[in-house]
């Protein structure tokens, strides 16, 4: 089965630096096959027997911590999940630049209270769509000026996330097809 591991905080701002060739080798050493990476921000597509997401995330997390010394969050998605995110984009046609739409990947769905708190923060410049273990965020402002960029989800909702812009999400979907 094909999966993508989305690593949080790899090669960002000069911290948690891992060369992709080294990361691919680490994934291969875990027994994963057909390992591919996209850009340097921790997007790794691989194949393995069908396994629970939490089990894969723990296996990858523990290997990265052991081999590189980084305690980072790992979000796992299947090929089907990535394809559904792309196919069911509620903001399709509402943005001109793929960098205006962001997918935030969560380890677990938001609670009703967390979802309510997030949606209360929405404005015309920062719109949200919540579906299962991801949030789509359409921004017409800089991500640095948004609640996403200011850490609202991490600090107020207390949910670990990793975000990718829409161009990256689409490229990951393409890697699954290759």
Query: Distance (Å, rounded) from C-alpha 31 to C-alpha 39?
Result: 22
Full domain range(s) for residue 162:
84-177
Query: Distance (Å, rounded) from C-alpha 69 to C-alpha 49?
Result: 27
With vertex at residue 149, the alpha carbon angle to CA 118 and CA 154, rounded to the nearest 5 degrees, is 55
Q: What pLDDT digit, counting tens, does each position of 150-175 carry?
A: 889 889 999 989 999 999 999 999 88
Tokens 């790992």 found at: 74
Please give the tally of structural domains in the chain.
2
Residues 54 and 126 in one domain: no
Query: Distance (Å, rounded) from C-alpha 80 to C-alpha 56?
Result: 16
Residue 34 predicted with pLDDT over 80:
yes
Residues 60 and 106 in one domain: no
Q: What pLDDT digit, counting tens, does each position of 113-156 carry?
A: 999 999 999 999 999 999 999 999 999 998 889 988 888 988 99
pLDDT of residue 118: 96
Residues 97 and 57 in one domain: no
Evaluated on CA atoms 81, 165, 67, 159, the torsion sign reads negative
What mean pLDDT, rounded, does the chain reach? 92
């Amino acid at each position: 089965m094909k999966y993508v591991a989305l690593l949080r905080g790899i090669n960002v701002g000069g911290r948690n630096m891992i060369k992709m060739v080294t990361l691919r080798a680490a994934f291969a050493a875990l027994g994963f096959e057909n390992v591919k990476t996209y850009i340097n921000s921790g997007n790794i597509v691989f194949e393995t027997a069908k396994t629970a997401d939490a089990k894969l995330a723990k296996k990858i997390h523990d290997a990265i911590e052991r081999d590189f010394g980084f305690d980072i969050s790992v979000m796992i998605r299947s090929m089907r999940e990535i394809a559904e995110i792309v196919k069911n984009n509620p903001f399709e046609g509402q943005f001109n630049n793929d960098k205006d739409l962001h997918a935030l990947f969560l380890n677990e769905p938001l609670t009703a209270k967390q979802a309510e708190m997030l949606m209360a923060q929405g404005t015309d410049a920062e719109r949200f769509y919540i579906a299962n273990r991801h949030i789509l965020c359409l921004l017409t402002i800089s991500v640095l000026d948004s609640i996403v960029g200011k850490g609202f989800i991490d600090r107020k909702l207390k949910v670990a996330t990793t975000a990718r812009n829409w161009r990256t999400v689409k490229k990951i979907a393409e890697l699954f097809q290759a």
